[in-house]
């Protein structure tokens, strides 16, 4: 069975519907993954339409090349490079941007990637295995304070300090180099956890988010998306945990409000500068049928905003 068949795209129809596809439009899929959203976008584009798809994962890029669609341009780069890459491609404004954040099922289910405690494998966790530091490399030199900060800030782990101390103590007997080693350290340290959740869940999430700079990448790309959207263009973002969604929610909320002026300044409401975004509908969650088919979708939430004529 192919990876595409194994991977179930979350909010597939809803995500592409949110873009209000124009047959001759130009669209960006910031997270190609295994191409679920990209395929649906291409299915709705006409011959003159164009899709630029980003991914840091070389395996995802290879999967995309098998599609053999002249309307699709694949870019092996983090989506924080959106401005640079679109400039190099000669693309100015676009009609829509879709972001499906987080990690894909193939990445979690490939034990060699080191993203899951379900497999004993090298402790890697990089989305782009061609560059950057692995989690094992980082843990080898990180201080207890640094590990604590990462586990607390990126995993909301209440036992962050105890786990960090345990990792540092374990290093005295040799490097922590595998997912099995790390999971065992955390499991021994964390005595209580939510029912049905492995004790290492938050630690693995935190280290993956940190090593890939996922929140920083998201914070950096959102303003670039707005600058690149033409009037009426849509930005749709699907998040899978509260840290991502908080960033997206605040960005769209702030972008849809007029600038905050001094309260005593005599400016009429009609003369206030217009915000660059307008919110489209309410947050969208997967329905019961989708969650039953794909339990990994249960935490997903999509937020959508539309570009106005105002300057970004």
Is 196 among the annotated ligand-binding positions?
no
- Give alpha helix (H) positions in 68-195: 82-88, 105-109, 135-141, 144-155, 160-171, 179-189
Is 55 among the annotated ligand-binding positions?
yes
10 and 90 fall within a common domain = yes
**pLDDT value, residue 272:** 67
Whether residue 9 contacts residue 297, with contact meaning beta carbons closer than 8 Å, is answered with no
182 and 223 fall within a common domain = no
**pLDDT value, residue 291:** 93
Query: Taking the model in full, what pTM does it have?
Result: 0.89
Is 117 among the annotated ligand-binding positions?
no
Is 180 among the annotated ligand-binding positions?
no
CATH number where 146 lies? 1.10.150.170
**pLDDT value, residue 227:** 96
Is 81 among the annotated ligand-binding positions?
no
205 and 263 fall within a common domain = no
Instruction: Note down the domain range covering 184.
Output: 129-211
Going by C-alpha positions, the residue among 243, 268, 244, 246 that lies closest to residue 258 is 268
Spell out the per-residue pLDDT of the chain, length 312, in tens: 344 445 689 999 999 999 999 999 999 999 999 899 999 999 999 999 999 999 999 999 999 999 989 999 999 999 999 999 999 999 999 999 999 997 766 676 666 677 787 888 999 999 998 999 999 999 999 999 999 999 999 999 999 999 999 999 999 989 999 999 999 999 999 977 777 788 999 999 999 999 999 999 999 999 999 999 999 999 999 999 999 999 999 999 999 998 766 666 666 656 667 899 999 999 999 999 999 998 889 999 999 999 999 887
Going by C-alpha positions, the residue among 115, 29, 113, 124 that lies closest to residue 77 is 29
Is 35 among the annotated ligand-binding positions?
yes
Is 146 among the annotated ligand-binding positions?
no
135 and 98 fall within a common domain = no
**pLDDT value, residue 192:** 73
Domain C-terminal end among 211, 238, 257: 211
50 and 143 fall within a common domain = no
**pLDDT value, residue 193:** 73
170 and 219 fall within a common domain = no
Domains identified in the chain, total number:
2
**pLDDT value, residue 4:** 47
Report the length, in residues, of the chain.
Answer: 312
Whether residue 277 contacts residue 311, with contact meaning beta carbons closer than 8 Å, is answered with no
Q: Is residue 123 part of a domain?
A: no
> In sequence order, what are the beta bridge partners of 279?
305
Give the integer Cα–Cα distance in Å for 207 and 205: 6
**pLDDT value, residue 56:** 94
Q: Is residue 118 part of a domain?
A: no
Phi and psi, residue 96, nearest 5° = -175, 150
């Amino acid at each position: 069975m192919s990876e595409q068949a194994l991977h179930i795209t979350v909010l597939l129809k809803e995500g592409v519907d949110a873009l209000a596809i124009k047959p001759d439009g130009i669209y960006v899929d910031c997270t190609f993954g295994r191409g679920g959203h990209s395929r649906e976008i291409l299915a709705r584009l006409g011959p003159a339409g164009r899709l630029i798809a980003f991914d840091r994962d070389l395996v995802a890029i290879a999967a995309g090349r098998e599609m053999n669609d002249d309307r699709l341009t694949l870019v092996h780069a983090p989506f924080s490079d959106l401005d640079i890459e679109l400039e190099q491609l000669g693309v100015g404004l676009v009609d829509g941007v879709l972001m499906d954040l987080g990690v894909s099922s193939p990445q979690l289910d490939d034990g060699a990637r080191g993203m899951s405690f379900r497999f004993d494998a090298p402790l890697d966790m990089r989305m782009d295995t061609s560059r950057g530091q692995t989690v094992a490399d980082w843990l080898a030199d990180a201080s207890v304070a640094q590990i604590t900060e990462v586990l607390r800030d990126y995993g909301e782990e209440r036992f962050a300090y105890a786990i960090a101390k345990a990792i540092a103590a374990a290093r005295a007997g040799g490097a922590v180099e595998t997912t099995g080693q790390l999971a065992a350290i955390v499991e021994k340290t964390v005595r209580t956890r939510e029912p049905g959740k492995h004790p290492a869940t938050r630690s693995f999430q935190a280290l993956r988010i940190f090593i890939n700079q996922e929140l920083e990448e998201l914070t950096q790309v959102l303003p670039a998306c707005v600058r690149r959207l033409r009037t009426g263009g849509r930005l749709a973002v699907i998040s899978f945990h509260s840290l991502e969604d908080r960033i997206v929610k605040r960005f769209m909320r702030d972008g849809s409000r007029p600038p905050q002026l001094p309260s005593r300044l005599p400016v009429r409401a009609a003369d206030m500068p217009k915000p660059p975004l307008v919110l489209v509908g309410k947050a969208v969650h997967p329905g019961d049928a989708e969650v039953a088919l794909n339990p990994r979708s249960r935490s997903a939430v999509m937020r959508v905003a539309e570009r106005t004529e105002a300057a970004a």
